[in-house]
């Protein structure tokens, strides 16, 4: 009849559907099972042939390890030297105890016949050392190998018979016991974890204590280390739940518990950073709400209540809270512009500046959408940009008349004037061609333009010179818009590739290329919007088409426009606050917005083009923005 010893296996291991029991006889004795009989199985109370410590713990997984019985070995008298050589060869081949001709069975029989033979003793000692090494290797892989602990116990059972008094074997058996104990502690820790008893505070017995004790029993216990990480995750989850309720003080208390779980790791600190970001977002959302309320009629009381709520969750000295408080004070004493409001600034000369429209603050996704046709890599990645403060943008492109006032007031010499030429549309060839004597005073074909037309043939530096003059005249800060401001204003809340929802522009959407357009000599566009005509082949007078949802005109058509940004091949590391992305001294600048000569792909809201800042031509103009 075979005898067995049962060994608990890690819960994550797959084991055959056999009888389960626990190898820790101390646990077994605690259960007062008859099989234990109040003694350890490895004690000499009964012969090895009767050793059978069958113990079962309900609910725990265990595998059956048979008590090892040396197989019968037949050695004829005089064959001892040959059998010893056979045992040594088995050791070389790492055959220790699997069969009757393996090293340990042979050496046990030889030791029984010649107990004082020095060579047999040395070989036997070597076999025990190899046996222990094999067992330790099995213990070392028990976290990854479902059968590691089982094999370690099999080795232990062999060792109990082959070297019961060997100190190194006794130490090895102690290591097995500690491994068994670590498995049991892992089981207990997992039950406590599942029940929510984490043991986070000093003196609280819970999952954390069991997992730590398991690591003490068996350093390197991966299952215990995973359990400790799970306790930390549970504590962080509790902190995140408090943060979701805007209870950031409570969240910090749970994070302090988490700090003590794995102090050498950054997990809790990373969670603290995430919660700080969440707190920042909550505070900023309240700030944005307060800002929006301030723009409503009689919104001051609600804005003050929002500030009160905000101060309950904002950290001391929070800049967003200070900003809202400042803006509330401004509204209470001075008032603010309203979104959509149209205004002009007075110039020192007594004239008025360009008409400006207040663009509401907010956020949008900037760049080409996933799967957007005709998009380029320079329009990606799609990224979120937020304007915490509104801004004013010129209602139309800068006109010839407005630019004329600047030139006459300053005697400024624009680039095309100094260079003596620019690029115009040539009706005979149907292309853009260089022509001498053309500058800002001329239209797209080189004829003198009326004051109502958008100014053409100006460089980026010409536009910036006009903005600088206007700033001096008004005492306000005027500038070219950033790319983000331009796209935000052009989209005006739209999310698609175009500033309108339909593939074909709506009637009078703006001056863009349409299949229905005709040049003075009857030319047609080769690549244009099907079924659309706007009545103009070249640029139209500024602002004659309807404005968009923000009250701005011609952002998607008529003429393309300079913006303040230097050219970058994509948006990685682009500012998230809508500011211009500028490199000092850059030559390559960005052009935004479609024009009268643009293909449909260039009318997309995300379209952008790189060109030298000194470029002048018949399709390119500009407009300005103003800080509020």
Query: What local confidence, expressed as pLDDT, does residue 63 receive?
Result: 60
Peptide bond into 236 cis (omega under 30): no
Q: Which of the given ranges, 12-21, 58-67, 229-238, has the highest pLDDT on average?
A: 229-238
Query: What local confidence, expressed as pLDDT, does residue 27 receive?
Result: 35
Q: Length of the chain, please?
A: 628
Q: Is the CB of residue 200 less than 8 Å from the CB of residue 206?
A: yes
Mean pLDDT of 154-183: 94
187-265 against 356-398+455-627: fold identical: no
Query: What local confidence, expressed as pLDDT, does residue 336 receive?
Result: 65
Query: What local confidence, expressed as pLDDT, does residue 130 receive?
Result: 96
pLDDT tens column, 481-517: 999 999 999 999 999 999 998 888 887 689 999 999 9
Query: What local confidence, expressed as pLDDT, does residue 403 receive?
Result: 98
- According to CATH, what is the number of the domain 187-265? 1.25.40
> For residues 27 and 91, which has the higher predicted lDDT (pLDDT)?
91
Query: What local confidence, expressed as pLDDT, does residue 19 receive?
Result: 33
Q: Which of the given ranges, 52-61, 206-215, 281-290, 442-451, has the highest pLDDT on average?
A: 442-451
Query: What local confidence, expressed as pLDDT, does residue 61 receive?
Result: 55
Contacts 24+ apart (CB under 8 A), 274-283: 274/240, 275/239, 275/240, 275/243, 275/248, 275/251, 278/243, 278/244, 279/243, 279/248, 279/313, 279/314, 279/315, 280/320, 282/246, 282/313, 283/310, 283/313, 283/314, 283/318, 283/320, 283/321
Q: Is the CB of residue 481 less than 8 Å from the CB of residue 393?
A: yes
Query: What local confidence, expressed as pLDDT, does residue 46 receive?
Result: 38
Closest CA to 180 of 261, 96, 97, 60: 60
Model's pTM, two decimal places?
0.52
Query: What local confidence, expressed as pLDDT, does residue 49 receive?
Result: 37
pLDDT tens column, 531-567: 999 999 999 999 999 999 999 999 999 999 999 999 9
Query: What local confidence, expressed as pLDDT, does residue 67 receive?
Result: 86
pLDDT tens column, 24-61: 333 333 333 223 333 333 333 334 434 443 332 333 45
> For residues 279 and 15, which has the higher predicted lDDT (pLDDT)?
279
Considering only the top CATH level, what class is 356-398+455-627? alpha beta
Cα distances (angstroms) measured from residue 36 to each of 26, 33, 183, 478: 9, 6, 20, 91
Is pLDDT of 122 > 80? Answer: yes
**β-bridge mates for residue 617, sequence order:** 423
Query: What local confidence, expressed as pLDDT, does residue 297 receive?
Result: 78
Q: Is the CB of residue 339 less than 8 Å from the CB of residue 359?
A: yes
Q: Which of the given ranges, 17-26, 271-280, 331-340, has the highest pLDDT on average?
A: 271-280
Percent of the chain at pLDDT > 70 equals 89
> For residues 59 and 405, which has the higher predicted lDDT (pLDDT)?
405
Query: What local confidence, expressed as pLDDT, does residue 337 receive?
Result: 82
Q: Which of the given ranges, 31-40, 299-308, 470-479, has the highest pLDDT on average?
A: 470-479
Q: Which of 19-28, 375-384, 431-440 has the lowest mean pLDDT?
A: 19-28
Annotated domain spans of the chain: 1-62, 187-265, 275-336, 356-398+455-627
The Cβ of residue 526 has, within 10 Å, a number of other Cβ atoms equal to 9
The band of 330, judged by pLDDT with boundaries at 50, 70 and 90, is low
Query: What local confidence, expressed as pLDDT, does residue 14 receive?
Result: 32
Percent of the chain at pLDDT > 90 equals 77
């Amino acid at each position: 009849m075979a005898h067995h010893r049962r060994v608990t296996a890690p819960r994550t291991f797959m084991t055959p559907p056999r009888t389960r029991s626990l190898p820790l006889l101390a646990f077994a004795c605690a259960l007062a099972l008859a099989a234990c009989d109040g003694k350890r199985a490895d004690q000499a109370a009964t012969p090895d042939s009767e050793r059978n410590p069958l113990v079962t713990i309900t609910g725990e997984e265990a595998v059956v390890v048979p008590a090892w019985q040396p197989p019968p070995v037949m050695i004829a008298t005089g064959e001892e030297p040959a059998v010893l050589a056979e045992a040594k060869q088995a050791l070389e081949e790492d055959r220790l105890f699997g069969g009757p001709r393996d090293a340990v069975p042979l050496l046990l029989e030889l030791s029984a016949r010649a107990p004082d033979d020095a060579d047999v003793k040395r070989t036997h000692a070597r076999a025990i050392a190899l046996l222990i090494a094999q067992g330790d290797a099995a213990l070392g892989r028990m976290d990854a190998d479902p059968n590691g602990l089982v094999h370690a116990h099999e080795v232990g059972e062999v060792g109990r018979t082959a070297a019961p008094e060997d100190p190194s074997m006794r130490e090895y058996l102690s290591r097995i016991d500690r491994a068994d104990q670590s498995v049991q502690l892992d089981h207990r820790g997992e039950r406590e974890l599942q029940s929510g008893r984490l043991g986070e505070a000093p003196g609280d017995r819970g999952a954390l204590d069991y997992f730590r004790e398991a690591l003490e029993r068996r350093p390197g216990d991966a299952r215990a280390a995973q359990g400790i990480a799970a306790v930390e995750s549970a504590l962080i989850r509790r902190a995140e739940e408090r943060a979701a309720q805007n209870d950031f003080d409570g969240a910090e208390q749970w994070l302090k518990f988490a700090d003590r779980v794995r102090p050498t790791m950054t997990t809790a600190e990373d969670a603290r950073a995430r919660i700080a970001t969440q707190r920042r977002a909550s505070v900023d959302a309240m700030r944005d709400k307060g800002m929006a309320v301030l723009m409503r009629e009689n919104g001051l009381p609600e804005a003050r209540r929002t500030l009160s709520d905000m101060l309950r969750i904002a950290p001391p000295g929070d800049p967003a809270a200070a900003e809202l408080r400042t803006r509330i004070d401004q509204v209470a004493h001075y008032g603010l512009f309203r979104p959509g409001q149209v205004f002009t600034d007075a110039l020192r000369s007594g004239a008025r500046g360009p008409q400006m429209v207040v663009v509401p603050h907010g956020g949008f996704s900037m760049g080409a959408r996933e799967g957007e046709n005709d998009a380029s890599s320079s329009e990606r990645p799609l990224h979120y940009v937020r304007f915490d403060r509104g801004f004013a943008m010129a209602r139309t492109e800068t006109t010839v008349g407005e630019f004329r006032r600047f030139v006459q007031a300053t005697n400024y010499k624009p680039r095309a004037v100094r260079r003596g030429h620019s690029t115009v549309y040539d009706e005979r060839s149907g292309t853009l061609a260089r022509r001498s004597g053309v500058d800002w005073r001329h239209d797209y074909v080189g004829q003198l333009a009326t004051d109502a037309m958008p100014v053409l043939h100006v460089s980026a530096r010409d536009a910036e010179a006009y903005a600088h003059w206007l700033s001096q005249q008004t005492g306000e800060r005027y500038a070219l818009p950033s790319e983000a401001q331009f796209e935000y204003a052009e989209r005006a809340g739209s999310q698609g590739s175009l500033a309108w929802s339909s593939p074909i522009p709506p009637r009078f959407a703006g001056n863009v290329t349409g299949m229905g357009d005709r040049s003075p000599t009857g030319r047609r566009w080769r690549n244009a919007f099907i079924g659309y005509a706007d009545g103009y082949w070249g640029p139209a007078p500024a602002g004659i088409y309807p404005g968009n949802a923000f009250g701005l005109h011609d952002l998607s058509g008529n003429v393309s426009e300079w913006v303040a940004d230097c050219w970058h091949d994509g948006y990685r590391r682009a500012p998230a606050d809508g500011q211009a992305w500028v490199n000092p001294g850059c030559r390559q600048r960005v052009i935004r917005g479609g024009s009268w000569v643009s293909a449909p792909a260039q009318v997309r809201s995300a379209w952008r083009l790189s060109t030298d800042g000194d470029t002048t031509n018949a399709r390119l103009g500009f407009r300005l923005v103003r800080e509020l």
